[in-house]
Structure 1
Amino acid sequence: MDGKDTRAGRLAGVPGNYAQELLDANVPERLRDWLSDSGVGALVAKLGIVFEELGPGRSVATMPVAGNTQVVGLLHGGASAALAETLGSFSATLHAGPGRIAVGLDLNVTHHRAVSDGVVRAVCTALQLGRSVASHEIVISDAQGRRVCTARITNLLRDEPGPARTPPAQASR
């Protein structure tokens, strides 16, 4: 999109260049204005991540296995890690509040079983939400509800450099 008032932008009520990306990722309407100038990130769009829920204490998203596999046709561990980091970082940023961001300090990922098709679903749950650090656990499951991967992310919460892109207050509600 070229930044002009496009049909997708008018339909979504979102100014900026990323209206269609936000719609494709199913970003909740209350967060679209906050992300209108940045989108969800090129990797999120490339991986096909679709959000079901976004909040500081709990976030949920899905990702297709197709297009995110390694050479032998199994879900790539890096794709699982990217899904986990996406949810944990969005949740931590929403917790951080207006004018603040989350910066990843640690991500660890344990792979439990292989997946070769379908969609995986990730549920991110807050472990600790502090003033300067937030930690989340992310459980990724296959279509049958079997655990595929467990991840933990710790984010440093700090003031956003430059002009702030303020997330809505209390975005979990």
Structure 2
Amino acid sequence: MSPPRKALPPTFSSQEFRSALGMFATGVTIVTAVTAEGQPIGLTASSFNSVSLDPPLVLWSLARAAGSLQAFSTGSHYAINILAADQKALAERFAVKGGDRWGGVDYTGGAGDAPLLAGAAATFECFNRSRYEEGDHVIFVGEVERCSWRTGAMPLLFHGGRFYTELPI
């Protein structure tokens, strides 16, 4: 049996690829941790998925160019906060580079002191189990040590480059 062939070069532009990916509606998360100096860090991410029930594993990805890559790569824990529909402003705040992301944000310290955002629809407190470099991103696999959720919470959604509290029908 011959080894698999390499993928053919893409027949589309980066913008076309981004537009096609935008057709997949996702939830919205803010991934949080603390730096080696104990400062909270966080960013909005829609690249979140379950991996395994036993052991409980989840994944998310971060651009290699992100300023927070070092802290997320070397820290022992992070938290994945699934945002509720009423947290759109928080998603926008943590999606923008620079500025004060944490001023006035209500949170408690979770596993490894990773911030757990008040009002989140669900939280996953993760041990930073493994990382895989692929393309221009790093894929993080976290082993979930604790999780919680708010019964009846409606999720914030992302589709076509926009946030929604419900998808238009």
TM-score by length of 2: 0.32
Bigger strand share: 2
Q: Which has the larger radius of gyration?
A: 2
- Choose between structure 1 and 2: higher helix proportion: 1
Does 1 or 2 have the higher relative contact order (CA < 8 Å, sep 6+)?
Answer: 2
